[in-house]
Amino acid sequence: MKLPFQAFVGCAYGINNIGYVLICFGVFNALAAPLAGGLVKITGRYPVMVTALILHTCLLSALLTWRPDPGQWLVFYLLAAVWGTADAVWLVQVNALSGILFPGHEEAAYSNFRLWEATGSVIAYATAPYMCARLRIYILLGILLAGFAGYTTIELMEYKVKKAHYRERDFELVDKVIENN
């Protein structure tokens, strides 16, 4: 689980409860991963990614406005469940996109993905003692929006390539029909 939420759990709900909240995160992460894959087959990748963006944006906004209270124990688990669900979509779909974008070079693509994921975690853990949770949430929100803008750009580029390929193929079919007549 990412650091800002851990700060909420540890400070407000108690360090002894972090493990239970992390279990909730992990369960929803594990359940949402195959569900996201199934949804992509039905709706396409982009709507699922937009849903994850909305979930994560709402979650981060909630963390910015919410004042944790140990008596609100259910809220901690609800937020962990939402975070786990959104995180599952990011992990599964970005991995899948890496394989699609780099056919024949999947090993390097997946390694690169894991490198940047680990780099982000190291930066988050290394800077945690020097920044308050609120600032880290704002940074995370900014990175989320910038990353999604980059993802949208990649989807648009892929769409244009596929569209051009289909047009090209259609003209080839027309040429073959004309040749045969």
Of 108, 128, 148, give the one whose Cα is nearest residue 5: 128
Give the pLDDT confidence of 110-164 residue by residue, as tens digits. 898 899 889 988 988 888 888 888 898 899 999 999 999 999 999 999 888 888 7
Looking at residue 10, its pLDDT comes to 65
pLDDT by residue (tens digit) across 28-55? 999 999 999 899 999 999 999 999 999 9
Contacts for 90 with CB less than 8 Å, ≥ 6 apart: 52, 56
In this structure, the number of other CB atoms found within 10 A of the CB of residue 25 comes to 25
pLDDT of 2 above 80: no
Tokens of 52: 């994850």
